[in-house]
Structure 1
Amino acid sequence: MAVNDDELRVMAEEELASAVSLKWAEIRRVTPWGDTFEGFAPSGRTVEIERRYIWAHDPVGAVLVEVEVRDRSNRTGVEARALLAPPA
């Protein structure tokens, strides 16, 4: 893994932590949904960040949260994901 990929991985994990910090009711309201925006990596390079909330098939009612951070100029990217089950 390249050093640049390490930076992208850290960014993806931080964005995923933010994405899953919503309350369950908020997550259900925004699913299915996705958004892409530009940001800056700590090194100063421009990156593209995509966040997706998708209904999962297993377990039923769960939401798959995916975050991808891409450096389009270097054609590299890293994805982080979490599966959120509905509260019991």
Structure 2
Amino acid sequence: MDAYKADLRSAAEDELQRACTLGWRQLAHHTPWGDTFEGFTPGGREVCIERSYLWDGEPGSDIRVEVTVYVEDDYEGGVRLTGSIARETA
């Protein structure tokens, strides 16, 4: 992996980790939902960060978290990572 992609991946991993800290109960009332904002990679590159929360199946199931980090005007060249927040059964 080249340094450019490694930098984007590092930012995506960090954002995915943060995105998955929210609890299922906190997110269930807002899913599906997503936003895009500007930020910086660990290497100082200005990027767009897209975060989406989607049902992983039927509404009320686990929540799939998708994070995409890309340089403006190059969405296809970005890095997309996916995580999951398990449904709470309490």
TM over 0.5: yes
CA distance in 1 between partners of 2:74 and 2:50 (Å): 17
Matched residue, 1:80: 81
Structure 1 SS opposite 2:70 = strand
Q: Pairwise CA RMSD of aligned residues?
A: 1.9
Structure 2 unaligned blocks of 5 or more: none
Q: TM-score normalized by structure 1?
A: 0.85
- Letter matched to residue 34 of structure 2: G
Number of positions where the alignment pairs a residue of Structure 1 with one of Structure 2: 87
Unpaired segments ≥5 residues, structure 1: none
Identical pairs, percent: 41
* Aligned residue runs from structure 1 range 1-88, under 5 A: 1-57=1-57, 61-72=61-72, 76-88=77-89
